[in-house]
Amino acid sequence: MAAMGMSKNRLEAFSDGVIAIIVTIMVLELKIPHESSWLALAPLIPKLLGYLLSFVIVAIMWVNHHHVMHPVESVDNRLLWANNVMLFWMSLIPFATGYMSEHYLSPEPVAVYGIDMTLCGLSFTCFRLAAGKRYPRSKTSQPLTFKDISSSILYLASIPLAFVSTYVSFAIFAGVALRYLLPKPEKQENPGA
Amino acid letter, residue 101: S
Amino acid letter, residue 88: F
Nearest distance, CB of residue 157 and a second copy, angstroms: 19
Nearest distance, CB of residue 153 and a second copy, angstroms: 18
SS3 breakdown of the chain: % helix, strand, coil, rounded to 5? 75, 0, 25
Query: Would you give the binding string for a second copy spanning residues 66-95, x where CB under 8 A is met?
Result: xx--x------x--xx--x--xx--xx-xx
Judged by CB, which is closer to a second copy: 95, or 135?
A: 95
Nearest distance, CB of residue 18 and a second copy, angstroms: 5
End-to-end CA separation in angstroms for the chain: 38
Helices 107-134, 93-102: axis angle to 10 degrees equals: 160
**150 near a second copy, rule: CB under 8 A:** no
Report the half-sphere exposure of 57 (CA within 13 A, side-chain side).
Answer: 32
Q: How far is CA 101 from CA 15, 46, 113, 169, in A?
A: 26, 6, 10, 13
**49 near a second copy, rule: CB under 8 A:** no
Binding site for a second copy (CB under 8 A): 1-3, 5-6, 10, 12-14, 16-25, 27-30, 32-34, 36-38, 40-41, 52, 55, 59, 62-64, 66-67, 70, 77, 80-81, 84, 87-88, 91-92, 94-95, 98-99, 102-103, 106, 108-109, 112, 140, 147, 180-181, 183-184, 193
